[in-house]
Structure 1
Amino acid sequence: MSKTRYHNLEVAEVIEETHDSKSVVFKIPQDQKDAFEYLPGQFLTLKVPYDGKQLVRCYSLASSPHVEVVHKVTIKRVDGGRISNWINDEVKVGDSIEVMPPAGLFYLNEASNDVILFGGGSGITPVISILKSALKTTDRKVKLVYANRDEESVIFREELKQIEQNHSDRLDIVYIYDTVHGFLNPDMVKEVTTGHVGAEFYICGPGPFMDTVENTLLSEGEEKSRIHVERFVSPADPDEAAALEAEAIAAAGDSTVTAFKVELDGEEHTIDYEKGDTVLKSMLKAGIDAPFSCEEGMCGACMCEIEGGESQLGINEVLTDEELEEGWTLACQCRPISGNITVKFPD
């Protein structure tokens, strides 16, 4: 009834990128290649045994499906980061790690306008994937604004230098170092985006960095639909996640819904509902090929809009407060409670 979620993948290569970051390249078996096809900017989800728990973390693919045949994620060491430090200290070639197929809504679109990329620290990982694909598959102009603490902290420095040399007519890279230029501020954002009104903007990095870029672009009149932001948080530990799920199930215990409507791929379905089930579980029971990946409220693959009733959302590591106010939810965590509910998936 559900898709295979995690696959055991062998580590094919470990690359030391900087003094505090490493890349891990996975070997994808021939019979799993279709499952691991991805779009530039998407991520892999890793499940790692740690201190008696199964911890889950999402890491963006720094490789490009249009340029490389490998699947490479890059992880920067984080103070107190249990998994990031374990990967940097312990993972070696030949190890096996449970990995979920690629997912994520942060990827290169098919427009023809300029592509302006903002990467902060390890936020370069999905950004460089988008950069490589944009240069390979389109004729769009590309600008990368890459902020780091200092020059020694720049991940992919040599690779970026080579790419810039090969695409000097279309690619412009601006490096910003905290120790030299200070932290990225609105004036810097305005300066680097001058001449690129109407571009497509992709932003990934520390929270304050992303907020500065996004808020400045909006204040300058750029459309929100052209500003793409990738935010990662560490998911709750298994015991915490179980408690959150139990709370959501209890809150939906008095549901009066017996059926709801779903609009998916241009078709409308009426789905029977059993109390306690999520929207996704109900759809799968009905034989509907619903979009989903992690089933844990963190990848966004099952994002949908809900109208005409009340529902209860459980674990949410993806949706912003603004998206929730607009009516977005996650099918894998949403439980109908009352009213004539209609669930709409984006085209």
Structure 2
Amino acid sequence: MEITSYELEVVAVVEETDDARSITFRVPDGAAEEFAFRPGQFLTVAVPSDQTGLAARCYSLCSSPTDTPADGDTVTIAVKRTAEGFASNWICDHLEVGGSLRVLPPSGIFTPASLDADLLLFAGGSGVTPIMSIARTALARGTGRITVFYANRDERSVIFARQLSELAAEYPDRLQVIHWLESVQGLPTLEQVRALAADHLERDAFVCGPAPFMKLTVAALKELGFPRQRRHQEKFVSLGGNPFGDVGSTQVEDEAAAGGSSAASETAVEPAAEVGEPARLEVELDGETHVFDDWDRSTTMLDHLESRGVKAPYSCREGECSACAVRLVEGEVTLAFNDVLDDEDLADGIRLACQATPASDVVRATYSG
């Protein structure tokens, strides 16, 4: 099934650092509902390619749902150049005000369950992009305390330095920003990250950045006993399929996107279950429970929900991102493909709805938590 894409006009381009740009798009008339987003979500964009027609990449939103621009609804992403990366370099070199890109509506599950929760936010490099959206929104709409630990190569590479400073001045009792510069302090160690996080054991932790940074930070949180439901990390891999549905392959080269991404290891999946009697499916989404007794064994959970009028989240439909992720409450499913969930995710019951077919007679799942 083809996803509806939109042509979004560029209304602002800001040079955040020497190698990072923020791009603001105007939401088309009549599409405000489709582009309503939660802090921490991302956009999938189609970058023109002479070789393949387009290269699909996911970039996190740095804007906040609390923004009220004068020229109508807008959304903003941040893009940092990746060495030898086709898409990020094309955007930074060619995308200007007045230009446009095809974009899919916001998606992703890297978002707080409550804006009133106390948050511990870890960012490495351009991984600050979704962290910025989460912090700004929670400060504006919530009541919790927030600590941001932000690691960079040097002072010149700090994205959103001014905005973070302004937020800290505006919310001195609620926001603490800790900058870590490799040029001054060296790379952060497991012991140093663990010591910082030890003062915030009751908080919800969010981690986004380069793969080594995320691995180190998550390891520190695990050692401190942070439960899985309070540890969140953003994972992106380059999309090998075409979520836009009308042009050939999007595979250009292995360029990770969206704020310091993690190329998750491919996980083996079980063979497809034999076709039998339909399964029972119960899914909780946005506070509403949907129940179906006719889930065909050869149909993915996402396709079945869509066929019944349920607007379930998704992006790539290829098992290469986490936008459609659900958590199993009961039963089991078979994944046709998985290139983003690791063994811990799978052990915790997380599955990809776009790749999941029933492997038990009853499957209960939730899109929350």
- Judge same fold: TM > 0.5, yes or no: yes
Q: AA paired with 2:157?
A: S
Q: 1:10 to 1:267 in 2, by over 3 A?
A: closer
2: CA distance between counterparts of 1:330 and 1:165?
Answer: 41
Per-residue CA deviations over 1:136-157 (Å, capped at 9, x if unaligned) read: 1122111111100000000011
Alignment partner of 1:169 out of 169, 173, 177? 173
| Structure 1 consecutive aligned stretches of length 4 or more whose deviation exceeds 4 Å | 237-241, 306-310
**Shift of the alpha carbon at 1:127?**
0.3
Number of aligned residue pairs: give it: 333
Q: CA deviation at 1:187?
A: 2.2
Q: Deviations over 1:144-191 (max 9, x none)?
A: 111000000000111111111112222111111111111111222133
Matched-pair contact (CA < 8 Å) for 1:6–1:99: yes
Q: Which moved more, 1:163-172 or 1:325-334?
A: 325-334
Q: 1:302 to 1:310 in 2, by over 3 A?
A: closer
Structure 1 unaligned residues grouped into runs of 5+: 242-247
Distance 2:305 2:123 in 1: 38
Is the partner of 1:31 in helix, strand or coil? coil
Cα distance in 2, alignment partners of residues 172 and 339 from structure 1: 47
What is the percentage of aligned positions where both structures have the same residue? Answer: 33
Q: What corresponds to 2:231 in structure 1?
A: 227
Structure 1 pair 156–111 and aligned structure 2 pair: CA distance change class (3 A):
closer
Aligned counterpart, 1:245: none
Please say if residues 271 and 283 of structure 1, whose CA atoms lie closer than 8 Å, have aligned partners that are also in contact. no
For 2:64 and 2:333, locate their aligned partners in 1 and report how far apart those are by CA, in whole Å.
41
Q: Decide whether aligned partners of structure 1 residues 309 and 162 sit closer, same or farther in structure 2, where only a CA change above 3 A counts.
A: closer
Hey, what does 1:260 align to over in structure 2?
279
> In the superposition, relative to structure 1, how do residues 304 and 261 fare at CA in structure 2: closer, same or farther (>3 Å)?
farther
* Equivalence for 2:45: 46
Instruction: Summarize the Cα distance change of 1:94–1:126 in structure 2 as closer, same or farther, 3 Å threshold.
Output: same
8 Å contact 1:310–1:341 — kept in the other structure? no
Aligned to 1:203: 207
Q: Given the superposition, is the C-alpha separation of residues 219 and 309 from structure 1 closer, same or farther in structure 2, using an over 3 Å criterion?
A: closer
Q: CA 1:284 to 1:190, structure 2 compared with 1: closer, same or farther past 3 Å? A: closer
Out of 300-309 and 204-213, give the one that drifted further: 300-309
Query: Does the CA contact (< 8 Å) of 1:197 and 1:222 recur in 2?
Result: yes
One-letter amino acid of the counterpart of residue 289, structure 1 = V
Could you tell me the TM-score, scaled by structure 1's length?
0.87
Aligned CA distance change for structure 1 residues 89 and 208 (closer, same or farther; 3 Å): same
- CA change 1:308–1:39 in 2 (3 A) is closer
CA shift at 1:193, angstroms?
A: 2.6
Indicate the RMSD between aligned Cα atoms, in angstroms. 2.5
Alignment of 1:57-96 (within 5 A): 57-69=57-69, 70-96=74-100
Q: Are 1:291 and 2:312 counterparts?
A: yes
In structure 2, distance between residues paired with 1:30 and 1:284: 25
**Distance in 1 between the 2:34 and 2:160 partners?**
27
**1:185-211 Cα shifts (integer Å, max 9, x gaps):** 122213323432211111100111111
With over 3 angstroms needed to count, the CA separation of the structure-2 counterparts of 1:91 and 1:264, relative to structure 1, is same
Corresponding residue number in structure 2 for 1:25: 24
Counterparts in 2 of 1:80 and 1:263: CA distance versus 1, 3 Å: same
Q: Looking at secondary structure, tell me which structure has more helix per residue.
A: 1
Q: Secondary structure at the match of 2:222?
A: helix
**Structure-2 residue corresponding to 1:282:** 304
- The CA deviation at 1:274 is 6.8
User: Greater shift after overlay, 179-188 or 299-308?
Assistant: 299-308
Where do 1:1-347 residues align within 5 Å? 4-53=3-52, 54-69=54-69, 70-110=74-114, 112-236=116-240, 238=242, 239=249, 252=272, 255-265=274-284, 266-273=289-296, 275=298, 277-285=299-307, 287-294=308-315, 295-297=317-319, 298-305=321-328, 308=331, 311-314=334-337, 316-336=338-358, 340-346=361-367
The amino acid that maps onto 1:263 is E
Query: TM-score of the superposition, structure 2-length normalised?
Result: 0.82
Deviation at 1:112, TM superposition (A): 4.3
d(CA) in 2 for partners of 1:257, 1:49: 43
Cα drift, residue 122 of structure 1: 0.1
Give deviations 1:113-146, integer Å, cap 9, x for gaps: 4211111000000001111111111221111111
- Matched letter for residue 40 of structure 1: P
- Indicate the SS of the match to 1:30: coil
What amino acid is aligned across from residue 17 of structure 2 in structure 1?
A: T
CA deviation profile, 1:283-340 (whole Å, cap 9, x unmatched): 433x2415133233324235253865662422x344222222344322212234x653
The Cα offsets for residues 66-105 of structure 1, whole Å up to 9 and x where unpaired, read as: 2454311000000111101111111111112111111111
User: What SS does the aligned partner of 2:361 have?
Assistant: strand
Q: Say which structure, 1 or 2, has more relative contact order (CA 8 Å, 6+ apart).
A: 2
Inter-partner Cα distance in structure 1 for 2:158 and 2:332:
49
Task: Flag the structure with larger Rg.
Answer: 1
